[in-house]
Amino acid sequence: MEAGGEVDVNQTLADVVKSRDTRLWEGFPVLLVNAARDYRFEYDRVLTSLVTDGEKEDFRALLLLSLALYDNLRLSFYWTKQLKAQLSDRDTAQLKQLTRSLSHDAPFTLAGREFQAGRLKGMFELYFEKGAEKGRQRKDTYDELALEYALSQLFSPKQKELFRKKLDGLPLTKTEKEYYSRAVKKKVAALANAELHRQARMLLEL
């Protein structure tokens, strides 16, 4: 564990490399991009956790696999460009071969393990779909809070309650209808005025 109780992502990557478990290796590109996204991936720290030449060679192979998968999915990151700039001619040739296998959805062998292109791409795409869904949920929450704040600036708590009830098509009592017509409807009409909306936007941009 890192300071503050966070998972040591570099040690996790090293542990996955050492496992030589194909199922875990298939998830390596997901782990790598997740670690790098948070600026926690450090190549040298992973390398120092690997003892044997075989482990270091497996790490090299999994990095190439990850880079090939990102290329196949048309994904580019600043850190992948840095890694590619350090590749040897041998690494570059193997990267091209892996990218070609992925583009043809062909099975291939890497570091003594057989991989299925479809499984690799499917796992990574699922990760991105989950990330996008979380992003949408965060945006929905933000939009809801922003709307609630805006309504609070314009309406009293009672007026806001009637605004919501009217919008949701809920019945109003006679007293509520009278109060809505007298105090809320005029504000709603003003909010719906396109020219007022345009001028308000202009003021915000000044």
Domain check: are 186 and 123 in the same one?
no
Query: Is 57 inside a domain boundary?
Result: yes
Torsion of CA 189, 192, 195, 199, to 10 degrees: 100
- For residue 171, pLDDT beyond 50: yes
* Rounded mean pLDDT, 186-201: 81
CB 107 within 8 A of CB 116: yes
The residue written with tokens 């915000």 in the block is 204
The 10s digit of each residue's pLDDT in 66-113 is: 999 999 988 888 889 999 999 999 999 999 999 999 999 989 999 999
Residue 185: give the domain boundaries: 155-205
Domain check: are 100 and 169 in the same one?
no
The CA-to-CA distance between both ends of the chain, in Å, stands at 49
* Domain count within the chain: 2
Give the pLDDT of residue 144: 65
CB 159 within 8 A of CB 183: yes
- For residue 172, pLDDT beyond 90: no
Domain check: are 8 and 107 in the same one?
yes
How far apart CA 29 and CA 49 sit, in angstroms, is 18
Q: Of the residues 85, 112, 129, which one is the last residue of a structural domain? A: 129
Give the pLDDT of residue 129: 72
Q: What is the token pair recorded at 90?
A: 């041998």
How far apart CA 176 and CA 173 sit, in angstroms, is 5
Domain check: are 17 and 70 in the same one?
yes
**Kind and range of the H or E run holding 84:** helix 78-85
Torsion of CA 25, 53, 33, 116, to 10 degrees: -30
- From 41-50, 59-68, 71-80, 186-195, the region with the lowest mean pLDDT: 186-195
The percentage of the chain sitting over the pLDDT mark of 70, rounded to a whole number, equals 86
Going from the C-alpha of 161 to that of each of 69, 142, 152, 180, 185, the distances in angstroms are 52, 20, 11, 10, 13
- From 15-19, 151-155, 172-176, the region with the lowest mean pLDDT: 151-155
Give the pLDDT of residue 83: 92
CB 90 within 8 A of CB 96: no
Domain check: are 185 and 103 in the same one?
no
Query: Is 199 inside a domain boundary?
Result: yes
Give the pLDDT of residue 162: 86
Give the pLDDT of residue 146: 63
Query: Is 184 inside a domain boundary?
Result: yes
Domain check: are 191 and 123 in the same one?
no
Give the pLDDT of residue 189: 86
Give the pLDDT of residue 3: 46
Give the pLDDT of residue 1: 43
Query: Is 147 inside a domain boundary?
Result: no
